[in-house]
A and B are shown apart, each in its own frame.
Chain A
Amino acid sequence: MLQTDVHNYLRTFFTENESPIIEESDGHIHIQLSIDMDKRLMNRPFYWQYLEKIGGVPNPMKLTLITDDSKAPEDLKGERIHFGAPRLHHIFRIAKELGSHVRMYEKVARTTLADGSISLLPWLNVNMKLSYEAEKKKDRFVSLGLNLVNGEMVDGFADQMIHLPLEPVIPDYCFTVSPLIKPASGMNRIRMYLENELLKEDHTWATQAVEKMNQDLRLLETFYTDEDDRPESYENEKEAITRQYDPKISMNVINGGLFYLHQHPLSIKRKILPYRK
């Protein structure tokens, strides 16, 4: 993430969360935090507790974030923020919380009922981080969409959605088709599908990790060969070695939701997007 990306990200983030930008240059932004953002970001629970108790007028803080020293006004006091900054990671986490489950409808431009109303098909979407983990680790992003009427599975779902005009309320002259698959069993299908896919992959990494694990366990045995009563440290170390190497894949949901679509996700024409939005 380049510094300009960080800058744009912050601008969208705060604007979307009722925290207006008071002042901005290419190297900084000065933000009036909303009460909610103050509570989430500024870590001052006692102030808010006290205020609520006495019923005072809330005075959320302002925040100055510097994304590029060379482009920010001279002598500006503020917090430097970059890809590794804990503040940015905090903001990432908030974005994840605030965007965890959505329900969106395709925006269909239709002004009359002349051609009859339009049907929108329900899709269940899950975006996940798959982590392949042993003593080392790698991740993969997966976005799946399941048609809750006919069970069709679409890979790369979220990437298609950003090309589609969507809105949180059902558009006029549209109706949604009732799902035949309930969300809970939809989730099961998605999970089974993924597990199946994963089993087909090449897992040399896991085999190697198990080999290393066995080798370290053998060494451990040698170390204690002369001791009839294995001390506590033996069990500890054995367990630690297993913890270190035992290969697993974890599927962590980032977010997802329900989408009601008129078009088929794969038929959506991809636009060349400007940066975000």
Chain B
Amino acid sequence: MHSPKIIFDEEWTSSLIERVEQNGPWENWQMYKMAIEAEKELLIEEFEGLRAPSHLPHLSIFPHQKEAAERVLTEMNGKAILADEVGLGKTIEAGLILKEYMIRGLVKKVLILVPASLVTQWCSELNQKFYIPAVEQRKHYVWDQCDVIVSSIDTAKREPHRSTIFEQEYDMIIIDEAHKLKNKNTKNYQFVRQLKKKFCLLLTATPVQNKLSEVFHLISILKPGHLGNEEAFAKEFKDADQHEELRQIVQKVMIRNRRSDSTMDWPKRVVKTVEIDFSEEEKELYDTVSALKNRWGNKYQWSLFPFTVLTLQRECCSSREAVYMTLKGLLGQEDMAPALKEELERIMTMVENVSRHAKAEKALELIQSIDDKVIIFTEYRATQLYLQWYFAQHGIKAVPFRGGFKRSKKDWMKQLFKDRAQVLIATEAGGEGINLQFCHHMINYDLPWNPMRIEQRIGRIHRLGQEHDVHIYNFAVANTVEDHILKTLYKKIGLFEEVIGKLDDILEKMREEELEMHISNILNHSESDGEIRIKLDNLTACIDAHEEENERVADRRA
């Protein structure tokens, strides 16, 4: 049997001897008793179990969050990947685990690395919900002077911070959006590998457990050697994604709750497709742009451009401003075939002549009838600016939100939206990580071709803490690429269903990028609408087949 070291705190003894020699001072009897009472309350007599909830009477903790925290503490020894689906409250789980370790006195020094846009949010949640005195990294000296620090990796990995951080011995490291660390050759990855840490939590919403080949590096941050070394891993698990044994090893360090497993009552998702008919001018523009595909799409001259006709088509569906920006860029290029240039200039004139924008009108009408906070997502910055201007013309205040905004500006915009504006117009990059539970309406002004991104959009408002049903309006212009995507693909795969488990399954089988590539290939290389439809149907069937396969496997296991 192992005999543990015994450490005795001498400080009190020397103070006692001093007082005996100097005949005092002696302290208050009542305080003596109260100190004992307090200490007895604070001490924790069991290795197992969660004490944190008794310190957090105002926090509602869901059963799956409590179980996750307990598992991390007892089975995983404080090293885990928290991979719950979007909106199930990974941050709460992480906070709960951190709090428990802090209460038990096992953790004092903590570094929390999150995307820059989330630094403030993490900090305020830890302070307000968990009474953990987390500090935002703003000045260099915080690294050694504060115990709990929230920072972005990009700041932390740079000098002068970097070397100071490497000197610290952290008790716990928490990394949000950890799936970004799967490439071991990046500076971020190498930085994280060098941190000194006792306990470690990696948070990710991207389903990683079925892409086991990618998990290797993530787990090596957590527990190097859990999957052997890199070479052996590659050899032994050649077809890693199919490897049941490997899956089980990964399970030992990963927690993944799904919405479909949780017993919670989720607010409903009310999904509505809003079909829009182009105005005459817009239709003409769209058709002319579409015609480019057959005339130029396969030609050398076009191949010099960094994008396809499809891009222009999608932009047409979004706003004339979006097309305009792209065309302007194109026309600025030298050495363009005169015939092509002429044609593009003709289209440019058409763009300039578009006077009515059917989609924007529809959006305005909808927002007026909703009479409540609305988020609009668009893929294009030009559309974002245009909509803001357009709504302002009609007395509706809208604030923009972009990924490129500084942290403070993001916080400010969110606050403006909450307090003063009816509409928030966000571009894709702005979607990640902001929580807007106070809003219950969302318009997908145009649709991204990566279903996970749609889920992330929805996840901004449809998450734990949302008390109302959530209304999602998908805009699609009739007889355009948008129409195909929405009707033929997204609806069929059940993308907007209340529970997203299905999407998760799809993405586990097929990489996000792969799906996106399939879709754009189909749309780019089909000769007719009919062909597009058939090919998209095939893709859907393919996805469904995966799913049936999954079910069969599940049945077999059961």
Contact = CB atoms under 8 A, between A and B. Distances in A.
Interface of A: 1, 9, 12-13, 16-17, 82-86, 92, 95-96, 98-104, 126-127, 129, 131-141, 143, 158, 162, 166, 168, 183-184, 187, 191, 195, 198-199, 203-207, 209-210, 212, 216, 218-226, 232-233, 236-237, 239-240, 243-258, 276-277
B interface majority secondary structure: mixed
Contacts of B2: 203, 206-207, 209-210, 247
A133 B41 CA distance: 19
Contacts of A209: 2
B78 interface: yes
Most A Cβ at <10 Å: residue of B1, B35, B56, B197 = B35
B513 interface: no
A81 B58 CA distance: 11
A83 B187 CA distance: 43
B38 A219 contact: no
A216 B223 contact: yes
Nearest to A241: B198
A96 B29 contact: no
Interface in B126-150: 131, 133
A226 to B, nearest CB: 6
A96 B7 contact: no
B78 A244 contact: yes
Contact of B38 (A96, A101, A248, A249): A96
B27 A100 contact: yes
A223 B42 CA distance: 40
B104 interface: yes
B55 interface: yes
A244 B225 contact: no
A168 B1 contact: no
Contact of B1 (A204, A232, A250): A204
B131 to A, nearest CB: 5
A253 B36 contact: no
A162 B16 contact: no
A46 to B, nearest CB: 19
A95 B43 contact: no
B6 A136 contact: no
Contacts of A1: 41
A237 B221 CA distance: 10
Most B Cβ at <10 Å: residue of A191, A232, A236 = A236
Contacts of B34: 9, 12-13, 16, 95, 99, 276
B105 A102 contact: no
A248 B5 contact: yes
Contacts of A254: 35-36, 39
A236 B57 contact: no
A96 B220 CA distance: 43
A181 B203 CA distance: 58
B73 interface: yes
Contact of A247 (B5, B8, B45, B194): B5
Contacts of A223: 220, 224-225, 228-229
B224 A138 contact: no
Q: Sorted from nearest, which 3 A-B pairs have the closest CB atoms?
A: A84-B55, A219-B225, A99-B31
B169 A243 contact: yes
15 contacts: A95-B34, A98-B31, A99-B31, A100-B27, A101-B27, A138-B46, A158-B36, A187-B16, A216-B225, A219-B225, A233-B194, A248-B7, A251-B8, A276-B33, A276-B37
Nearest to A207: B2
A257 B35 contact: no
A206 B3 contact: yes
Contacts of A16: 28, 30-31, 34
Contacts of B196: 236, 239-240
Given A240-B198, A253-B13, A222 B193 contact: no
A170 B28 CA distance: 15
B38 A205 contact: no
B226 interface: yes
Contacts of B226: 219
B32 interface: yes
A12 B169 CA distance: 40
Given A98-B27, A137-B105, 16 more contacts: A1-B41, A83-B54, A84-B54, A84-B55, A99-B31, A100-B32, A127-B36, A137-B47, A162-B33, A203-B2, A219-B225, A219-B226, A233-B194, A240-B169, A257-B16, A277-B30
Contacts of A233: 193-194, 224
Interface string B341-367: 000000000000000000000000000
Interface string B498-518: 000000000000000000000
A135 to B, nearest CB: 5
Given A183-B20, A224-B229, A247-B5, A101 B78 contact: no
Nearest to A135: B77
A212 B77 CA distance: 9
A253 B29 contact: no
B232 to A, nearest CB: 8
Nearest to B133: A86
Nearest to A277: B30
B424 to A, nearest CB: 32
Contacts of B43: 129, 139-141
Nearest to B9: A252
Contacts of A158: 36
B1 A203 contact: yes
B4 A249 contact: yes
A120 to B, nearest CB: 16
B9 A250 contact: yes
Contact of A219 (B1, B12, B58, B224): B224
Given A103-B26, A138-B44, A237-B224, A255 B8 contact: no
A247 B29 CA distance: 35
B295 interface: no
Nearest to A221: B225
B245 interface: no
B45 A138 contact: yes
Contacts of A212: 77
A205 B77 CA distance: 13
Given A247-B2, A250-B7, A251-B8, A102 B45 contact: no
Nearest to A223: B225
B218 to A, nearest CB: 14
Contacts of B169: 240, 243
